[in-house]
Amino acid sequence: MPTQKINAKSFSLRRFFQEFKEGDFVAVSPQASVPFNYSNRIKGKTGRVLAKRGSAYYIEVKELNKPKRYLLRPIHLKKIEVAKK
């Protein structure tokens, strides 16, 4: 059985273990080396962290003025800063 070599540079450990708080704003940025089992429609969307489940986070993203919830691993998320008024 052939084995697949894992390249240490294939993904960032910093992004893999990053932490978010409830209410943080994040952008969905799929990491190519880790399976991303959602449609590409949410790629690049921004949303808010609702809760943490295990090592993943519930994210609320608006699609066509309707809020949708996704359970995503932190490696597929980037924290963004939102200007406060």
Could you tell me the pTM of the whole model?
0.78
**Residue 59 belongs to domain with CATH number:** 2.30.30.70
Residue 18 lies inside a defined structural domain of this protein: yes
The string of pLDDT tens digits covering residues 35-69 is: 778 888 888 899 999 999 999 999 999 988 899 99
Residue 60 lies inside a defined structural domain of this protein: yes
pLDDT computed for residue 1 by the predictor: 47
- The tally of domains found in the chain comes to 1
| Structural tokens at position 52 | 């943490």
Residue 46 corresponds to which amino acid?
T
**Residue corresponding to tokens 């200007």:** 83
For 61, the domain range is: 13-79
Q: Could you give the CA distance from residue 85 to residue 70 in angstroms, rounded to a whole number?
A: 28
Whether 31 and 11 have beta carbons less than 8 Å apart is answered as: yes
Q: How far does CA 11 lie from the centroid of its chain?
A: 14
pLDDT computed for residue 85 by the predictor: 67
Residue 1 lies inside a defined structural domain of this protein: no
